[in-house]
């Protein structure tokens, strides 16, 4: 098991975002505004879903890593800090998922 966390990945993304886009894939994604990492996140999520349905455990592990990476890049592009998302997840775990969903306001 590894001690590498989402916070570690987020810090690595921050470091790589500071590089010139021609030297960093992360910086290149961010240079495209939110649309570029959003598109990549969608592609990777579909690939993860397909791997899961096909029972491809190794593929799912690989694609899940891509999903997490691209999600964190998208959060950065959207100006959302990882701790904000983690706080929202923590808030939601204070009650059951069914109760939490029922409490959301829907138009």
CATH 3.40.50.880, domain 6-80, yes or no:
no
Residues 19, 39: Cα–Cα separation, whole Å: 22
Token couple for 45: 């999520």
Residues 102, 82: Cα–Cα separation, whole Å: 25
Task: Find out whether 44 and 68 touch, Cβ atoms under 8 Å.
Answer: no
Per-residue pLDDT of the chain (107 residues; tens, 9 = 90+): 679 999 999 999 999 999 999 999 999 999 999 999 999 999 999 999 999 999 999 999 999 999 999 999 999 999 999 999 999 999 888 877 677 677 776 66
The reported pLDDT for the residue numbered 1 is: 64
Closest residue by Cα to residue 15 from 7, 2, 26, 1: 26
The pTM of the full predicted model, rounded to 2 decimals, is 0.86
CB-count exposure of residue 26 (10 Å: 0-12, 13-18, 19+): buried
């Amino acid at each position: 098991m590894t001690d590498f966390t989402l916070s570690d990945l987020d810090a690595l993304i921050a470091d790589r975002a500071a590089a010139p886009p021609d030297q960093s894939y992360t910086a290149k994604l961010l240079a495209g505004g939110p649309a570029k990492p959003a598109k990549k996140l969608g592609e990777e999520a579909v690939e993860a879903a397909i791997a899961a349905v096909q029972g491809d455990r190794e593929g799912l592990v690989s694609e899940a890593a891509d999903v997490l990476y691209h999600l964190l890049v998208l959060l950065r592009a959207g100006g959302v800090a990882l701790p904000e998302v983690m706080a929202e997840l923590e808030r939601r775990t204070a009650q059951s998922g069914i109760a939490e969903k029922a409490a959301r306001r829907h138009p």
